[in-house]
Amino acid sequence: GGCLSSVLFSIYINDVPVGPDVKIALYADDLLIHGNHRVPNIAVRRTQESIDTIINWASRWRLKFNPAKTEAVIFSNKKFYQDYNKLNVAGQDIQWSPSIRYLGVTIDRKLTFNRHADEVTTKARGRRAASLPSTQQQRPYREDKTRDLQDVRAPHHDVRFSRLEDVRRKILREKDGSGAIHRLTDHL
């Protein structure tokens, strides 16, 4: 729990082994394994080989994985079939999901971020609804409070975040009282 704990843990797990065409992303105790190949089952096989190597490495360093928290998705624009080989972690098969959640971002198999935009919009509407009773008090409103409502933004996803932008505009009009419309993209 000390200030050096996360640094020491990062050093401890920094030598995680991976196989060919497989990459990893580490953040604290979260591990993302990404296999890449044009043929999905080859990517799955190589990812499984890396998982097995990582599990052997982890047992040597007395670390354990939690298969219950493990998710798997195949990123593809092609029609999705459940008959791809399943990944296996610590003796448990991992079912294929249409999307995964990693570091607070929902990533769907076609990388459209539609589901993430829906979740963030719902969260923004909830925050707006929770703040409505305080509008009568006419307290000053800081615009930067709405910035954390948008977790992920890419220029080509502007259309997907228009619902979030609509909620944001309503919040600003209610809190500001000016009726001015501020575009989120102007502030990023």
Contact between 56 and 85 (Cβ < 8 Å): no
Contact between 31 and 58 (Cβ < 8 Å): no
User: Residue 160's pLDDT is what?
Assistant: 62
Mean pLDDT calculated for residue range 124-143? 63
Quote the percentage of the chain above a pLDDT of 70: 74
User: Residue 151's pLDDT is what?
Assistant: 47
Q: Which of 7-16, 45-54, 165-174 has the highest mean pLDDT?
A: 45-54
Whole-model pTM: value is 0.64
User: Residue 13's pLDDT is what?
Assistant: 81
Mean pLDDT calculated for residue range 135-148? 49
State pLDDT tens for residues 68-114.
888 888 888 777 666 788 898 988 998 888 888 888 888 888 888 88
Residue 115: exposure state from Cβ atoms within 10 A (0-12, 13-18, ≥19) = middle
Q: Which carries the bigger pLDDT value, residue 129 or residue 59?
A: 59
- Which band of pLDDT confidence, cut at 50, 70 and 90, is reported for residue 125? confident
